């Protein structure tokens, strides 16, 4: 019984995935929305993008980068922030 349920679940997922692929690929359909384009948002988007997801990264400022982009260097190595 459990096995069958799993099977059905699997099929539902597959068809959903099919829908994603066919029906929505061209529309604004993604996997994850990341809100905020600072260092944390950028890292989240990069990881998810590398792990097979489509990501929207939304930033309210005219550029991504956040507060880290305003820093000159970072402690304790004093590496360049950019």
Task: Map the footprint of other proteins across residues 7-46, applying CB under 8 A.
Answer: 13, 16-17, 20-21, 24-25, 27-46
- Asked if 72 interacts with other proteins (CB under 8 A), we say yes
Q: Do 55 and 48 form a contact (C-beta atoms < 8 A)? A: yes
- Asked if 4 interacts with other proteins (CB under 8 A), we say no
Residue found under tokens 């304790």: 76
Cα–Cα separations (whole angstroms), residue 58 to 2, 30, 51, 72: 41, 13, 19, 24
Q: How far is the CB of 75 from other proteins (least distance, A)?
A: 4
- Asked if 5 interacts with other proteins (CB under 8 A), we say no
CA distance 66 to 58: 12
Residue numbers at the binding site for other proteins (CB under 8 A): 13, 16-17, 20-21, 24-25, 27-80, 82
């Amino acid at each position: 019984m459990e096995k069958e349920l799993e099977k059905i679940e699997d099929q539902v997922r597959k068809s959903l995935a099919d829908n994603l692929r066919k029906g929505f690929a061209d529309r604004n359909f993604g996997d994850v929305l990341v809100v905020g384009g600072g260092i944390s948002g950028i890292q989240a988007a990069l990881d998810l993008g590398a792990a097979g997801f489509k990501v929207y990264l939304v930033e309210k400022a005219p550029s991504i980068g956040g507060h880290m982009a305003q820093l000159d260097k970072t402690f304790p190595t004093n590496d360049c922030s950019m």
